[in-house]
Structure 1
Amino acid sequence: MAERKDVLTAVGPRLRELRRRRGLTLAEIAERTEISESTLSRLESGGRRPTLELLLPLAEIYAVPLDELVGAPRTGDPRVHLHPVRHNGMIFVPLSRRPGGLQAHKLIIPTRPAGLEPELKTHEGFEWVYVLAGRLRLLLGDQSLVLAPGEVAEFDTHVPHWLGAEGDQPVELLVLFGRQGERAHLRARTT
């Protein structure tokens, strides 16, 4: 029973994340679904329980299966079905499915056009990056670092930062990101 409650509680943040990723407002979603803005807001904040009547039009608008929208556990098939997303020229492959908490992504960053200056950003959270292939240029505050395959960096995202491909090849990364500042903790046992 507690598991079912956890699944229902996670629907609101998942809906908010889908809407924000698509750059839509509550008013735009309300217009497309004929669900009031206040109902959508309460649904996203957890103030209203999700029902099929509310979720079906939202799944249609966001073009996701209902199972994915509610985060229903998969049964019988252990494979992970990846859904890459293109954003700002980069390819994000979500590897985790739960909203909130630590998120895992594979990230592919193409080479940068000549003359395009890096734009450092800040946001809430903490990031851990592991270079899988290529070379990563990491600008972090006043530091400029180049990481090769197998190297790792972790940093507070309140510090101005930028990630890009170094050289003439794209870079592939494994990225762990926590919005509230969760950090990756690695533990090794000695034998």
Structure 2
Amino acid sequence: MRMKQDDEVDALVRARIRGLRTALGWSLDELAARCHLSPSTLSRIETGHRRLGLDQLTAIARALGATLDQLVEPAGDADVVIRPHHDADRGVTTWLLSREPGLTVAKMRITGPVPADLKVHPGRDWFIVLAGVVELRLAERSIIVRAGEAAEFSTMVPHAFGAHDGPAEILAVLDHDGRRIHLHPAP
């Protein structure tokens, strides 16, 4: 079983290298020059006639503008469908649209009002209101953000947001701390 999985990953990596190279419109010679390999070595790597070496994969990934993780990540359909997470206590349903570390992009449907407890964390938050109206509380200020409008603010200011006069939907960009605060229920 292990050998079959290794062979599948190996074939997938080779196909990704060739696919990225051709998508960029590069010949074997062009990619080989960019990753300091001979065209024949690169050809044998793509066709499976040469073993994949970590040093070669790293150089090829860099030349293609990809990461090593992107070249070797397993293929699968398990993560294609984004399923909502509903937090009934907070009145928020969240769809995580990104899985990359760093910034998180999430669509949120908000039915609850602004929570009483305002949060503070390092970073900045951004959101655009797709539908409805959102009330953004920044310390003592209460700001109404309508559909088609966006907000951006320092999260070092005590803050919270909620629906105003009915459900609202937003597209939010949150840093690591923002994801932890806004997308996970309080302990």
Give the TM-score of the pair, scaled to structure 2. Answer: 0.51
Task: Determine if the alignment matches structure 1 residue 158 to structure 2 residue 156.
Answer: yes
Q: How far off its partner does 1:178 sit?
A: 1.6
Partner residue of 1:94 out of 76, 86, 96: 96
Task: Determine if the alignment matches structure 1 residue 131 to structure 2 residue 118.
Answer: no
Q: Which residue number corresponds to residue 107 of structure 2? A: 106
Q: Which residue number corresponds to residue 172 of structure 2? A: 175
Task: Call closer, same or farther: CA 1:106–1:121 in 2, change over 3 Å.
Answer: same
Please say if residues 135 and 166 of structure 1, whose CA atoms lie closer than 8 Å, have aligned partners that are also in contact: yes
Q: How far off its partner does 1:122 sit?
A: 1.1
Question: In the aligned structure 1, how far is the partner of 2:159 from the partner of 2:136?
Answer: 7
Root-mean-square deviation (Å) = 3.0
Amino acid at match of 2:173: L
* Higher gyration radius (CA): 2
Task: Call closer, same or farther: CA 1:170–1:72 in 2, change over 3 Å.
Answer: farther
Please say if residues 101 and 180 of structure 1, whose CA atoms lie closer than 8 Å, have aligned partners that are also in contact: no
Q: How far off its partner does 1:6 sit?
A: 3.4
Superposed structure 1 runs of 4+ greater than 4 Å apart: none
User: What do the CA deviations read for 1:141-188 (whole angstroms, capped 9, x no partner)?
Assistant: 221100110000011112100101011x1110000012379xxxxxxx
Q: How far off its partner does 1:125 sit?
A: 2.3
Structure 1 vs Structure 2: percent identity of aligned residues?
Answer: 37
Q: How far off its partner does 1:84 sit?
A: 1.2
**Count of aligned positions:** 112
Partner residue of 1:6 out of 61, 69, 80: 69
Q: How far off its partner does 1:4 sit?
A: 6.7
Task: Call closer, same or farther: CA 1:86–1:144 in 2, change over 3 Å.
Answer: same
Unmatched 5+ stretches in structure 2: 1-56, 59-65, 179-187
Amino acid at match of 2:83: H
* Structure with the larger helix share: 2
Task: Call closer, same or farther: CA 1:133–1:73 in 2, change over 3 Å.
Answer: farther
Q: How far off its partner does 1:80 sit?
A: 4.5
Q: How far off its partner does 1:119 sit?
A: 1.7
- The alignment partner of 1:150 has SS state of coil
